[in-house]
Amino acid sequence: MAYGLAQGGGVNQEQFTAQHEAEWRRLEGWIAQGKKSAPNSAEKASVEEFAGLYRKCCQHLALARSRLYSFTLINRLNKIVIQSHARLYGARRNLWQDVVRYILQDFPVHVRSEWRSVLTSAALFYLAMLAVVGAILIDPDMVYTVMDGDQLRQFEYMYDPANLDSLGRKAGREADSDLLMFGFYVSNNTGIGFRTFASGLFFGLGTIVTLLFNGVQIGAAAGHMTHLGYIQTFWGFVAGHSALELNAIVLSGAAGFKLGMALVAPGRRTRLRALRDESKKAMLLMYGTAGMFILAAMVEAFWSPVRSVSPEVKYVVGIVMWVVVIGYFIFGGRRAAR
Amino acid sequence: MLHFKANAEGLAQTGNDLTGSLIRMLDTLREVQTPEGIDLHLPVAGLVPRALAWLIDALIRSGIYVALALVLRFGKTGLGMFLLATFIIEWFYPVLFEVLRGGQTPGKRAYAMAVINDDGTPVRWSGSLIRNLLRVADFLPVMYGFGIISILLNRDFKRLGDLAAGTLVVYQETRLTTHELPKGGAVRPPFPLTLEEQQAIIAFAERSASLTAERSEELAGLSGPLVEGAVHPVERLCGMAKWLMGSRKAAA
């Protein structure tokens, strides 16, 4: 009887189609108009009409399904509903507004709210680095346990005060090689950051390995240069961009740990649910982290190699950068967030 | 306006549940419920078309790199710009297309596929960035090993990045296809049919031209009560397909 009632009690398909064809046409026309980002004032009134028509069409689809109307009709309504749904719920907001708000407020607020991951990542990275620096200063030969001779010779050449030209601007080095290095730093360092983040998907293990590896490598270079006495060339060079670059690696690690912890300790959610929630939060760290890598690359390419500035000035700038970066994460966005 | 025999109804009903669940098991349709309480049926795309789409995109990317290398081959500035450009393309090529071109990279467009959110809405920056940054994890250990395993194990063919981002790769019907149906008049089915049954009959009618006469007869014979006592079961079924698709013209 159910079928008899369903189709016999109401309207048949031809009547149904005739009644609502005009509305479906309007929706289809609307969809065909394409995707404009934000509606203007004249369109806003019609947006309400669109939402109303869409809901009506949802009802039509449900009716058509329960009345067992034909496949073609249901298919057509299903298509209208899918596309209207995407139009209605997929509306975009102003991107630039979001970006400004993110820099001034959301980024430092997120970093603070993820302090557990951030501190874990910072501890792993910086402790590994300092341990290696310490070990090399005590026993300089330790450097050979983590780096091979070729790598070391290259570093030595780069920072040897006797080869000033290889570091700073000499006669042969023009501004164009700054641009080359900028491209290199952006792609290399940001790539390392992205990989540190993504490898967190393997229960955080990939992130741990990447953080330790980079900490050890950087520590070995720093320890070895200090041991050789290339203080001004090495520390003068790295001072400016260190705050941005090292902390960007730490934050990539923190974002990676968000992914890992979602799988290791999902709490009262399924692992999949947890992963989806946490990866959204992790991305809120990664936007800013990518920005930090790019800023760091600019400093490293256009400021750090400048030789007309005395090393003392570079140390001061480096310290100021550290104060600014740490201060930004501790105090940034506090007033607005309240 | 329609009246049915009780036994026909019973047949149709038991048939419904069976064919319905069977088709759901076979089909790669993902059902999503909207806030309006409507189920959307999204056809998810599997490994092979996705791999082919990736291949097309990989070729396009390589083409761009070669072109860039030719344009930017002058001096260190050029090399710096080249490094920057390759970095952006390598990481953000899919993101830009997915967010700005309706979920379709050129490769996906070629196979009429698109990336969308699990709830059927267009993918946005956050989701697209997650799924594409995590590509690194999918790529490991070699040539998308983990990604392929994930796609094969997952009901919705999701790679790791899709799992984390909550995204799907679905086929996008660009337009409803209308196939030529064999000649003949429309026949009203003896009792109402479920969507799955209607689909099966229409699909049969559309394909019958490409089947041998014997095979068509055999398949049509399987539809039991629908073709009971018919002289030409194939013609009868095709007639019903026409009726289901809206034609009411009876045979001359």
Are the beta carbons of A198 and B137 separated by less than 8 Å? Answer: yes
Average pLDDT over residues B141-146: 90
Count of CB atoms situated within 10 Å of the CB of A19? 11
* Contact call for residues A113 and A258 (beta carbons, < 8 A): no
pLDDT digits (tens, 9 = 90+) for B196-217: 788 788 878 877 877 888 888 8
Query: In this model, does residue B15 exceed pLDDT 60?
Result: no
Q: Which helix (H) or strand (E) holds A111?
A: helix A107-113
Q: Which residues are bridge partners to B170 per DSSP?
A: B44, B114
Query: In this model, does residue A166 exceed pLDDT 90?
Result: no
Cα(A89)–Cα(A92) distance, rounded to whole angstroms? 9
pLDDT reported for residue A92: 62
pLDDT reported for residue B195: 75
Cα(A194)–Cα(B129) distance, rounded to whole angstroms? 11
Contacts of A12 in chain B (CB under 8 A): 1
CA distance B230 to chain A (A): 23
* Contact call for residues A260 and A202 (beta carbons, < 8 A): yes
Tokens of B26: 């076979």
Burial of A27 (0-12, 13-18, 19+ CB in 10 A): buried
- SS3 for B117? strand
Tokens of A231: 């203080």
Burial of A84 (0-12, 13-18, 19+ CB in 10 A): buried
Of the ranges A148-157, A191-200, B32-41, the best mean pLDDT one = A191-200
pLDDT reported for residue B97: 95
Q: Which helix (H) or strand (E) holds B204?
A: helix B195-208
pLDDT reported for residue A175: 61
pLDDT reported for residue B82: 92
Query: In this model, does residue B5 exceed pLDDT 80?
Result: no
DSSP helix, strand, coil percent of chain A (3-state; round to 5): 85, 0, 15
pLDDT reported for residue A308: 83
Contacts of B93 in chain A (CB under 8 A): none
* Contact call for residues B223 and B237 (beta carbons, < 8 A): yes
pLDDT reported for residue A118: 97
Residue carrying structure tokens 């009560």? B225
Are the beta carbons of B193 and A68 separated by less than 8 Å? Answer: yes
pLDDT reported for residue B104: 94
CA distance B107 to chain A (A): 21
Count of CB atoms situated within 10 Å of the CB of A264? 13
Torsion from C-alpha of A134, A136, A142, A148, nearest 10 degrees: 120
* Contact call for residues B41 and A77 (beta carbons, < 8 A): no
Of the ranges A333-337, B81-85, B219-223, the best mean pLDDT one = B81-85
Poorest-pLDDT segment among A83-87, A321-325, B34-38: B34-38
pLDDT reported for residue A71: 74
Cα(B60)–Cα(B41) distance, rounded to whole angstroms? 32
Start-to-end Cα distance in chain B: 24
Are the beta carbons of B176 and A85 separated by less than 8 Å? Answer: no
pLDDT reported for residue B4: 34
Query: In this model, does residue A6 exceed pLDDT 80?
Result: no
Tokens of B127: 């989701």
Residue B176 Rama label (left phi>0; alpha psi -120 to 50; beta): beta
Residue carrying structure tokens 């984390």? B164
Instruction: Return the amino acid letter for B146.
Output: F
Average pLDDT over residues A189-197: 95
Poorest-pLDDT segment among A64-78, A124-138, B80-94: A64-78
* Contact call for residues A6 and B3 (beta carbons, < 8 A): no
CA distance A52 to chain B (A): 11
Average pLDDT over residues A160-184: 67
pLDDT reported for residue B251: 65
> For all residues of chain A together, what is the average pLDDT?
86
pLDDT-above-90 percentage for chain B: 40
> For all residues of chain B together, what is the average pLDDT?
82
pLDDT reported for residue B52: 96
Residue A325 Rama label (left phi>0; alpha psi -120 to 50; beta): alpha
- SS3 for B167? strand
* Residues 6+ positions from A52 with CB-CB distance below 8 Å: none
Contacts of A177 in chain B (CB under 8 A): 76
pLDDT reported for residue B72: 83
Average pLDDT over residues A224-247: 92
Contacts of B202 in chain A (CB under 8 A): 71-72
Query: In this model, does residue B37 exceed pLDDT 80?
Result: no
pLDDT reported for residue A93: 66
Name which residue leads in pLDDT, A177 or A312.
A312
The total number of residues written for chain A in this structure: 338
Query: In this model, does residue B7 exceed pLDDT 50?
Result: no
pLDDT reported for residue A256: 97
Average pLDDT over residues B79-96: 93
Poorest-pLDDT segment among A141-145, A190-194, A316-320, B22-26: B22-26
Angle, CA A281 vertex, CA A106 and CA B138 arms, to 5°? 135
- A35 touching chain B per CB within 8 A: yes
Interface A-B, measured as beta-carbon pairs within 8 A, has a size of 160
In 3D space, the residue among B122, B235, B112, B231 whose CA is nearest the CA of residue B177 turns out to be B112
Poorest-pLDDT segment among A118-132, A274-288, B17-31: B17-31
Instruction: Return the amino acid letter for B4.
Output: F
Tokens of A65: 């399904």
pLDDT reported for residue A8: 40
Cα(B213)–Cα(B209) distance, rounded to whole angstroms? 9
Are the beta carbons of B1 and A7 separated by less than 8 Å? Answer: yes
- A96 touching chain B per CB within 8 A: no
Name which residue leads in pLDDT, A287 or A46.
A287
Of the candidates A14, A275, A286, which has its C-beta nearest B164's C-beta? A275
Cα(B56)–Cα(B105) distance, rounded to whole angstroms? 9
At residue B144 the predicted structure's pLDDT band, cuts being 50, 70 and 90, is very high
- A25 touching chain B per CB within 8 A: no
Contacts of A85 in chain B (CB under 8 A): 34, 40, 120-121
- A221 touching chain B per CB within 8 A: no
Name which residue leads in pLDDT, A265 or B27.
A265
pLDDT reported for residue A336: 66
Tokens of A92: 């975009």
Cα(B168)–Cα(B146) distance, rounded to whole angstroms? 17
* Residues 6+ positions from A176 with CB-CB distance below 8 Å: B75, B76, B77, B80
Q: State CA A186 to chain mean position distance.
A: 14
- B2 touching chain A per CB within 8 A: yes
- B10 touching chain A per CB within 8 A: no
* Residues 6+ positions from A288 with CB-CB distance below 8 Å: A102, A103, A107, A110, A111, A251
Average pLDDT over residues A266-273: 94
Torsion from C-alpha of A29, A30, A33, A39, nearest 10 degrees: 160
Interface of B with A in 207-236 (CB under 8 A): none
Average pLDDT over residues A37-46: 58
> Treating both helix axes as pointing N-terminal to C-terminal, what angle do A41-66 and A13-32 enclose, rounded to 10 degrees?
150
Of the candidates A1, A72, A90, which has its C-beta nearest B121's C-beta? A90
Contacts of B120 in chain A (CB under 8 A): 82, 85-86
Q: Do β-strands B167-171 and B113-117 pair in parallel, antiparallel, or remain unpaired?
A: antiparallel
pLDDT-above-70 percentage for chain A: 87
pLDDT digits (tens, 9 = 90+) for A52-95: 889 999 999 988 888 877 777 888 898 888 888 888 877 666 77
Of the candidates B77, B125, B164, which has its C-beta nearest A276's C-beta? B164
Of the candidates A183, A197, A276, which has its C-beta nearest B84's C-beta? A183
Interface of A with B in 116-155 (CB under 8 A): none
Tokens of B96: 């830009």
Contacts of A54 in chain B (CB under 8 A): 36
**pTM of structure:** 0.76
